[in-house]
Amino acid sequence: MSTNHEQQLKDFRELVQKIKSYEEALSLMYWDLRTGAPRKGMDTRSEVIGVMSTEMFKLSTSDEMGAYVEALSQPDVYAQLDDLNQKTVTECKKEYEKSKKIPAKMYQEYVVLATQAENIWEEAKEANDFARYKPYLEKVVAYNQQFIDLWGPKETRYDTLLDMYEPGLTVAKLDEVFGELRAKSVPLVAAIAASKNQPDMSTLEQKFDIEKQHQYSLFALEQMGFDFQAGRLDESVHPFATGINPGDVRITTRYDENDLANSLFSSLHEGGHALYEQNISKDLIGTPLCTGTSMGIHESQSRFWENMIGRSRMFWNRYYGDLQNIFPGQLHADVDTFYRAINRVQPSLIRTESDELTYNLHIIIRYEIEKMIFNEGLAVEDLPAVWNAKYQEYLGITPPTDALGILQDVHWSSGGFGYFPSYSLGNMYAAQMMNTLRREMPELDSLIEAGDLHPIKAWLTDKVYQYGKSLTPSEIILQITGEELNPAYLIEYLETKFSEVYKL
């Protein structure tokens, strides 16, 4: 490589590092905003976030960035770069070409709007006031429609948004895998509802001290390998994980004295996200590759730890005694009764509190509504009615309030259209990975029952975590399992598990 190109590479990496520094600062500000920042300061904070985001955006779309990615992408130069630099150049070029199509002023306006919309959503949800939130959501949708026009619609307009979270994913593919999942799930839900072997829920229908719930969440996270020297647990309205860098990964959960399972499994869920971010290779720090490869793969890790480990019989054979020690006055039932209770299948209104089986129907509902918004022009004012109708159609229940319906999720406030399918994709990826893990680690059940979860974390670090974004979702799942995404493994897992729980 010529001296000139060596200098360009050095300057390029310095620019990338500067952008990542802005990104870290913004991540910290977002975390603070959602975990207790004074309400009166939120509008000003939104403006500050808008300014800083725009500065970061300008750097990523600057003439300097354009010149670097163009020069370093030349075949003769690119071939001389090592693998890390090649992938960094490729990722930056992709983002440059996409972001360059959006005017900086428009981007700043959108960031401020989205941050304000999240604040208003929180207030509207608490007050059950969709009318207050509606104008903000209308603007967020309108901006996303403009972005699609600027980027250029793919096969459908919604495909353009899907690709943001799961590269290469299309409506055609999702219709296929979701159709297969729905076709198998609906009769299974019906068979479970008709079963005479319903779980005894009385052990969970009690009050559980919030401080003790927090204590157990810390214990469970420690057991799964969460590094508290590189992260922390806080509380928020909507649980989330923020990977500032591998040495600073912050998660939140939500506590309800009437719902022990909610905080417990939210903590395990966000802990799964955190293990991914904490165990990305240190070589990727300071590059755009130092994050999860896609939201689907990221969700595979949260759902893997929450459900396939955390809701397993082996897990509770080991850890139920610890939970009983924290709540000796409430948990008198045996472990089998508790296990069946936490795996009850019952259509419910709230996605984050839904069972492992019907959860996917919540995602399919949101997916179908998002398609209607962007491919069919569904108006925001009609969303509550459409939402309620789909809940009645898919789950047999109708939300009595908007707070329990259309206002329950924060994602649309920040423009996260195309994100929701990631949750069910995560379930599919997780089941497919678990199938391979069982083959490669035949002692898996014994390890879980012994509370030795570290070999599982080490396997996932080797197969998934260390690569960050340096491998694509398809490369990850193909490298692990030898095949592309296949929903059959999730269907088999659900049918096997719930046939046993309900003695079908």
Domain 171-501 part of CATH 1.10.1370.30 = yes
Neighbours of 176 (CB within 10 A): 12
The domain limits of the chain are 3-152, 171-501
Active-site annotation holder among 122, 270, 277, 356 = 270
Amino acid making up residue 301: Q
Distance (Å, rounded) from C-alpha 467 to C-alpha 460? Answer: 11
List the binding residues for Zn(2+).
Answer: 269, 273, 299
**Inter-axis angle of helices 421-440 and 157-165, to 10 degrees?**
40
Q: How far is CA 283 from the centre of its chain?
A: 24
Q: Are 490 and 427 in contact (CB under 8 A)?
A: yes
- Counting Cα atoms < 13 Å in the Cβ hemisphere of 463 gives 24
Dig out the tokens for 336 from the structure: 């089998």
Distance (Å, rounded) from C-alpha 336 to C-alpha 353? Answer: 21
Catalytic residue flag (residue 109): no
Amino acid 91: pLDDT: 95
Distance (Å, rounded) from C-alpha 476 to C-alpha 482? Answer: 10
Residue appearing with tokens 């980027």: 151
Nearest residue to 277 (alpha-carbon basis) of 295, 258, 257? 295
Helices (H), 195-246: 210-224
DSSP 243: E
Amino acid 390: pLDDT: 96
Distance (Å, rounded) from C-alpha 20 to C-alpha 500? Answer: 48
Nearest residue to 103 (alpha-carbon basis) of 164, 141, 149? 149
Amino acid 352: pLDDT: 84
Strand partners, 249: 231, 243
In tens digits, the chain (504 residues) has pLDDT values of 788 889 999 999 999 999 999 999 999 999 998 898 898 998 899 899 989 999 999 999 999 999 999 999 999 999 999 999 999 999 999 999 999 999 989 999 999 999 999 999 999 999 999 999 999 999 999 999 999 999 999 999 999 999 999 988 899 999 999 999 999 998 999 999 999 999 999 999 999 999 999 999 999 999 999 999 999 999 998 899 999 999 999 999 999 999 999 999 999 999 999 999 999 999 999 999 999 999 999 999 999 999 999 999 999 999 999 999 999 999 999 999 999 999 999 999 999 889 999 999 999 999 999 999 999 999 999 999 999 999 999 999 999 999 999 999 999 999 999 999 999 999 999 999 999 999 999 999 999 999 999 999 999 999 999 999 999 999 999 999 999 999 999 999 999 999 999 999
